[in-house]
Amino acid sequence: MTDISDRTAPPARVSNIAKIADSIQIPLIYFGSIGAALIFWEYIALNYFSPAFFPTPTLVLTTAWEMIKSGELFVHSAISLQRIMLGFLIGSAVAIPLGLLMGSSAYVRAIFEPYTEFFRYVPAIAWLTPVVLWFGIGEVSKVLIIVYTTVFIVAINTIVGVGNISPNKFRAAASLGATPAKMFVYVTWPATLPFVLTGMRLAMGNSFATVVSAEMVAADRGLGFLIFNSRLWMATDKIFVAILCLGGLGMAADRIFRILIRRFAHQYGSAE
């Protein structure tokens, strides 16, 4: 007589094999897509453009390696990352409490909502000239521009997160005798955290775009400066090196936030 467990074993094994196949195929497709794009880029650049206008990936990678050996690429990347992280962290530190207060209190929201609704539609680059006039071309102006572009995105997502908390959670906490402080610690903050991280993820992308614009106008170092300065000498290979560096750093930062969002969304509820 055949045991029932013997009948169910093959589907389980098939499921495990399918998971293993997916875990192998997805990375292959991912890196295969990158390889195909590089091959296509090489073909187009070699056959239809001059290197002065559209360099090949081989030339770009060679230039990147030379810039790495000389330390030039590290200096520009480190300066840009420093500006991004400082402005991003300050902006997030301002935006998260502001968003929590606006989401929790109708009075606070009535005070600050006109400003958040107005200024979030004014791009950060529009403030670059006034900020440079007020604070000079030093680090302060560039960091403030990144703070500006971060605050509204993170604040709006935080407000949405507070608004999506089920009232039943607050009622349950109140029935158990939770104080307002405990409600914040055990209900509001955990439920809002995935939304906060999603806002920070979006703001990080804007921070990269903003720092490049700021460095093109008022800087003597940074990836934005490298792009702007290289165009004067038609050094398009260096321009592409800076572009690839920005994309790579941005992807790394985004990957970190995706991991954090996945972890906390699974724990406290999805924000995506």
If asked whether residues 99 and 210 sit together in one domain, one would say yes
Q: Are residues 145 and 188 in the same domain?
A: yes
Give every CB contact of residue 108 below 8 A, 6+ residues apart in sequence.
101, 102
Co-location of 90 and 43 in the same domain: no
pLDDT above 70: percentage of residues in the chain: 89
What's the pLDDT at 266?
61
Residue 13's pLDDT band, with cuts at 50, 70 and 90, is: low
When pLDDT is cut at 50, 70 and 90, the band that residue 14 belongs to is: low
Where is average pLDDT lowest: 97-101, 199-203, 220-224? 220-224
pLDDT value, residue 118: 93
- Residues 44 and 150 both lie in one domain: no
113 lies in the same domain as 232: yes
Mean pLDDT value across residues 52-70: 91
Q: Residue 81 contacts by C-beta under 8 Å, 6 or more apart in sequence?
A: 249
CATH number for the domain that contains residue 135:
1.10.3720.10
Residue 272 confidence (pLDDT): 41
User: What is the pTM (predicted TM-score) of this model?
Assistant: 0.81
pLDDT higher than 50, residue 271: no
Q: Does one domain contain both 165 and 225?
A: yes
**10 or 83, higher pLDDT:** 83
Instruction: Give 112-159 pLDDT, tens digit per residue.
Output: 999 999 998 998 888 888 988 898 888 888 899 999 999 999 999 999
| Distances, alpha carbon 109 to alpha carbons 12, 81, 101, 103, 271, in Å | 53, 33, 7, 7, 22
- At 21 the pLDDT is 63
